[in-house]
Amino acid sequence: MSPQYENPFRPGAGHKPPYLAGRQIETDEFKRLLGQPTILENLMLTGLRGVGKTVLLDAFKPIAIRGDWLWVGTDLEEAVSISEHNLVVRLLTDLSTVTSSLVTGTEEQTEMGFTGQPITVNKMLNYEALEAIYKETPGLESDRLKAVLETVWALLEPRGKRGVVFAYDEAQNLTDNADRDQFPLSLLLDVFQSIQRKNIPFMLALTGLPTLVANLVEARTFSERMFRILFLQRLSDEESREAVEKPTKIENCPVLFSPESVDTIVDLSAGYPYFIQFICREVFDLFIQQLGEGQTPSVPVAEITHKLDSDFFAGRWSKATDRQRELLYAAATLQSADSEFTVRDLVRRTRQILQNPFKSSHANQMLKTLCEKSLVYKNRHGKYSFAVPLLHKFILRNEAPEGTIQDGFFDERA
């Protein structure tokens, strides 16, 4: 294939798609948050893997910059949760990327060379300077971090900046750890609530899996009031079609998906942006080959489904033990498997289809473990959902686990 016809579809984690379909409501909400005279609400984007949280957060960055906001941030790795100190280092490191060009004063230094004459140099607000402010401020970690942020804003405000967006992806990795007496998430929430009350426009923009909401509420009960929570759903059929069709509607593109092919891709992807990119990339390459061989292009549903199972689902499924797979299989057979289910629903189902059904206490315990493995999650209403999109369909496509007495669906009211 000629380089000018490189496959436009990008199914990698967080990769920008050739066309960002939908998400206008979320974009308008972000613009509204940027327009707050005082920061009363921060942004939280949450949803299952594959719904485009990282991509959308990246799309918000140029919007903020055009509005005279500075933008800092990165992925929050699990190491940040080890200690409050690690969180502080993370924040100061990110903040220094936009403050290192700020001049805070001058100092005399001895010129290198034979003359040794004193010279005047500018003092910059780099990482070392931010760290010095932090270390020299008395009090707790929160007091020290507030002092740094207040100092930074005092220098930024005269330069006409609207504020700073602290954008962090994979924020579900940030948690408190009472066993180690370390509370980095609480520190983050307390500090930003405090400086926002002082009318300092530093805004948090967090993205993460649905467990992020529970983590925040567990750390600080007031955290829900600090955030505008946007739960990203799958794309509508119309938006999915745009995501499929528009990248190929360029001059001289050798591939044009037929209406029938588009319908098949939309149905197979179920509206999840990652699956759209994955399937379209496979279909695009295949159509190039088929057209080159004089064949009529068609979407090989079975083959793509098998590849998706192997590349996306199998690794996650391998995390589960045999007994956990039995419970997940029972959940997958529920009529509400695509939305949410209760422990009671699950226990009743296991009595119907498993030789060794679960008791409520055992199911509760196992669901907690499955949450830690990011296979399911518990929402704010105490109900559970699959944390991986379309995982229930993958489970049903595979053989029923040993210990299943009968396949098929039952009346859940029985």
Q: Is 374 left (phi over 0), alpha (psi -120 to 50) or beta?
A: left
pLDDT of residue 412 exceeding 60: no
Q: Which is nearest to 54 in space by CA: 8, 91, 96, 17?
A: 17
Residues 259 and 150 in one domain: no
120 found inside a domain = no
Residues of the domain holding 154: 24-102+133-231
Give the pLDDT band (50/70/90) at residue 40: very high
pLDDT for 119 equals 58
Q: Picking from 120-134, 144-158, 184-198, 265-279, which range would have the lowest pLDDT averaged per residue?
A: 120-134
Looking at residue 107, its pLDDT comes to 57
Q: How many CB atoms within 10 Å of residue 119?
A: 11
CATH number at residue 57: 3.40.50.300
Indicate the SS3 state at residue 120.
strand
Whether residue 33 sits in one domain with residue 146: yes
Is the same domain home to 44 and 189? yes
Instruction: Tell me the pLDDT tens digit for each residue of 98-112.
Output: 888 877 755 555 555
351 occurs within a structural domain: yes
> Which uninterrupted H or E stretch holds 109?
strand 103-110
Mark whether 200 and 93 lie in a shared domain: yes
DSSP code per residue over 146-181:
HHHHHHHHHHHGGGT--EEEEEEESGGG---BGGGT
Task: Based on the fold, state whether residues 176 and 280 are members of the same structural domain.
Answer: no
Tell me: pLDDT of 75 over 90. Answer: no
Domain count across the chain = 3
pTM of the model: 0.83
Residue 174 is assigned to a structural domain of this protein: yes
247 band by pLDDT with thresholds 50, 70 and 90: confident
> What is the pLDDT, as a whole number, of residue 408?
45
Copy the structure tokens of residue 325. 């797979």
Q: What confidence category does residue 413 fall into, taking pLDDT thresholds of 50, 70 and 90?
A: very low
Listed residue (189, 184, 174, 180) closest to 220, CA to CA: 189
On whether the CB atoms of residues 202 and 148 are closer than 8 A, the answer is no
pLDDT in tens, 350-383: 998 888 899 999 999 999 999 888 899 887 677 8
